[in-house]
Homo-oligomer: A and B are copies of this chain.
Amino acid sequence: MTTAQRSTVQGTAVRDALAAQDGFRSAQDVYAQLRADGHKIGLSTVYRHLQAFTERGVADAIHNPDGETTYRFCGEAHTSHHHHLVCRSCGRAEEVEGRAVERWAEEIATKYGFTAVNHTLEVFGICPACVSVGPESDAAPVG
Contacts and interface: CB of A to CB of B under 8 A. Distances in A.
A53 to B, nearest CB: 18
A121 B124 contact: no
B108 A85 contact: yes
A104 B114 contact: no
B109 A104 contact: no
Interface residues of A, number: 34
Report the copy number of this chain in the oligomer.
Answer: 2
A127 B119 CA distance: 14
Contacts of A114: 85, 87, 123, 125-128
A28 interface: no
A16 interface: no
A67 interface: yes
Contact of A100 (B85, B100, B124): B100
A52 interface: no
A121 B119 CA distance: 7
Contact of A120 (B100, B101, B112, B121): B121
A-B CB proximity, top 7 nearest:
A114-B125, A117-B125, A113-B128, A119-B123, A121-B121, A116-B126, A115-B126
Interface of A: 63, 65, 67, 69, 85, 87-88, 94, 96, 98, 100-101, 104-105, 108-109, 112-128, 131
